[in-house]
A and B are shown apart, each in its own frame.
Chain A
Amino acid sequence: MYVYDEFDRRILTQRVQQFRGQTQRYLAGELKDNEFLPLRLQNGLYIQRLAPMLRVNVPYGMLNSTQLRKLAHIARFYDKGYCHVSTRQNIQFNWPELAEVPDILAELAEVEMHATQSSGNCIRNITSDQFAGVAEDEVIDPRPYCEIIRQWSSFHPEFAFLPRKFKIAVTGAAASDRAATQVHDIGLQVLDDPQRGVGFKVLVGGGLGRTPVIGSVIRDFLPEAHLLSYLEAILRIYNQFGRRDNKYKARIKILVRAMGPEAFAEKVETEWQQLKDGYSTLTQAEIDRAKHFFTRPAYEDIDAAAAAAQLQAQASEQRAFARWLERNTRGHRQPGYASVVLSLKPTGVAPGDVTDRQLEIIADLADRYSFGEARTTHEQNIVLADVKQADLPALWQAAKAAGFATPNIGTLTDMICCPGGDFCSLANAKSIPVAEAIQRQYDDMDYLYDLGDIDLNISGCMNACGHHHVGHIGILGVDKKGEEFYQVQLGGRSGTDAALGRVLGPSFGRLEVPAVIQKLLDVYVENRNGDEQFVDTYQRLGLEPFKERVYAKSH
């Protein structure tokens, strides 16, 4: 994991001091609300429905146990004893006091964390694959590049007042993209080309929100040395020509669409030719420096076959353990190791919420079983990436006791859900109660397993923080004459074969939603071929049979 040096520390300390001064000026009435707004947003602070919300960056999802304990302390001391993992891998606190936020940021800085540019019209936290560095299907570990981009984008003087927010995601496993690079303002896919070396496929103009778009490839291969100058060229074109007259048309996707991806790419190319080979060209020394923070931990030499056999034996004795193994752990490139997903989706808890005590338990588990590190995921869970298979039974017991072992990863109840109307002032409808109603309805694990992998994503408004467009089933809160309704979409995907869902038809009242889901599942179960997944059945059948069932007149 990246470790700060004196430069990083100095820059972050100056930032904390800057914001402390700004907050004091605001509280003293020297800064107007509208002036303080961009300043606080660029330090992660929203004013929400009930209280401020502070969004803390978790750079590309990586956390160490010291940081987890600090987050626990902040949740306990400054907040109401819990926080929330967001769909962009960040941590959100829902109840901080405005006057205390500078202190919180100072405490975060002690453990090399910050809330810099976690909101506002600037380059946001860089997100990535939660299995970076351990996935069997990975080509190159994306994290060194994420860190290089994090540093470049932090306090970038030219791009702090963009037309709109700007999100970058990086994957090192393009063939099984877990970072949703096709629905980001910039998506980068690290490639290792036998002739050309390491580089990136560059996508631009993807995004969800009001106008969901799949990104366009504007460059098939960008050599790694040119990463920053090329990003700079894209941002510069966007900063100059992105629309600023209408905030709903200000994202880069609208510019790319208006110009056409080819014309946009050409403009970027022209700009890049001017910037290329300047001082921002990455040196091999810098790439190596970034890489040395993400080397393999001190894995033990393990007899993988023996470890697997032992695990098999334990699993056959205990069905519950076997289920957890199947759903909540996954393969690892290191023989004898596994990655574990701690589920933050038990029934009755808002998806992604985690308490102060639980954060400390995660820290302890990370220390004991996973080299002191953990990761947040965009599905709002926590990953322990480097666990010895032999430790899995003990880890399972501990996770169960702490409420993290719901064996539902990838299933219907492992849903993505934004905070919605309970917290968010932009919401059209609540989302957490919908998630809970669905979780309560589907508490039969056998049925859930039989359904297999289903991504169900819920957003409380068309800003789409719950990524409803790319859920196999997407639920969107809408407002109809002041009442909360829910629109259902089908067929979205967020991975390598990213696709946007299609609207099923007229929206439903909240209480109707679980029954609608049941009808969709019934159509699937009745029509599936073999072990075909929900979204594949949908793709084969199209929208009609689902629509017919859901909207059939009852007799």
Chain B
Amino acid sequence: MPNLIKNGAIVTDDWTLLDADATDIPAGKVIAPLALWQARREMLEQRDHLGVWLDTDETADQLGADAQTLSLIAVNFPGFMDGRGFTTGRLLRERYGFSGELRAVGHFMRDQLCYLKRCGFTAFHFAEPVDLDAALQSLDDFTEYYQAGTDQPLPLFRRRA
């Protein structure tokens, strides 16, 4: 069943998100918690598709330039009031050169999609059931912005003619 917003469309997720304390790593496309990736890196890097997820208190520099070796990075939002992941997203994109799928997972809100997109997120997997068609509309709550973002590196003042 389609359960993921990805690149502005509703699709079926084919990744498996491993729990924070997972030790078994199934076959297929998995998103491993940071600690597991750190511990079993050599083995995991054999895979064609590898994802890692960061919890809200894990910072982008813990992946650093290694981010570029991953197909997918997910950032967990334990609650929608916790905005640390917004910074994590931007840093992964702007500082560490990550160009794969950047996915928000957990308890963020539909109303945060536009800002998440501006911080580099391209995929959204809600922990709770959400009307994804309706949620899609929130991606474009704003189409013009004052500040720079990953989607628009030039702040408005450099574009105002």
Contacts and interface: CB of A to CB of B under 8 A. Distances in A.
A537 interface: no
A155 B157 contact: no
Interface in A150-171: 151-152, 154-162
B65 interface: no
B80 A7 contact: no
Contacts of A15: 142
A39 B87 CA distance: 20
A197 B145 CA distance: 30
Contacts of B82: 161, 244
A278 B149 CA distance: 12
Nearest to A286: B157
B142 A279 contact: no
Interface in A343-389: none
**Interface band, chain A:** 35 or more
A154 B157 CA distance: 14
B144 A279 contact: no
A151 B155 CA distance: 10
A283 B160 CA distance: 12
Interface residues of B, number: 34
A160 B115 contact: yes
B160 A5 contact: yes
Q: Chain A binding site: helix, strand, loop or mixed by DSSP?
A: helix
Nearest to B89: A158
A379 B154 CA distance: 38
B111 A39 contact: yes
B156 to A, nearest CB: 6
Contact of A154 (B86, B109, B146): B146
Given A274-B95, A279-B155, A161 B80 contact: yes
B81 interface: yes
Given A18-B111, A236-B87, A244-B82, 20 more contacts: A14-B142, A35-B111, A38-B81, A39-B111, A151-B157, A152-B146, A154-B146, A157-B114, A158-B86, A158-B115, A160-B83, A160-B112, A160-B115, A161-B83, A161-B86, A244-B84, A279-B158, A280-B148, A280-B155, A289-B157
23 contacts: A5-B160, A7-B160, A10-B143, A11-B145, A14-B142, A14-B144, A18-B141, A121-B81, A148-B157, A151-B156, A152-B146, A154-B146, A155-B142, A157-B86, A157-B145, A157-B149, A158-B90, A160-B86, A160-B112, A160-B115, A239-B86, A279-B155, A283-B158
Interface of B: 59, 80-84, 86-87, 90, 95, 109, 111-112, 114-116, 118-119, 141-149, 153-158, 160
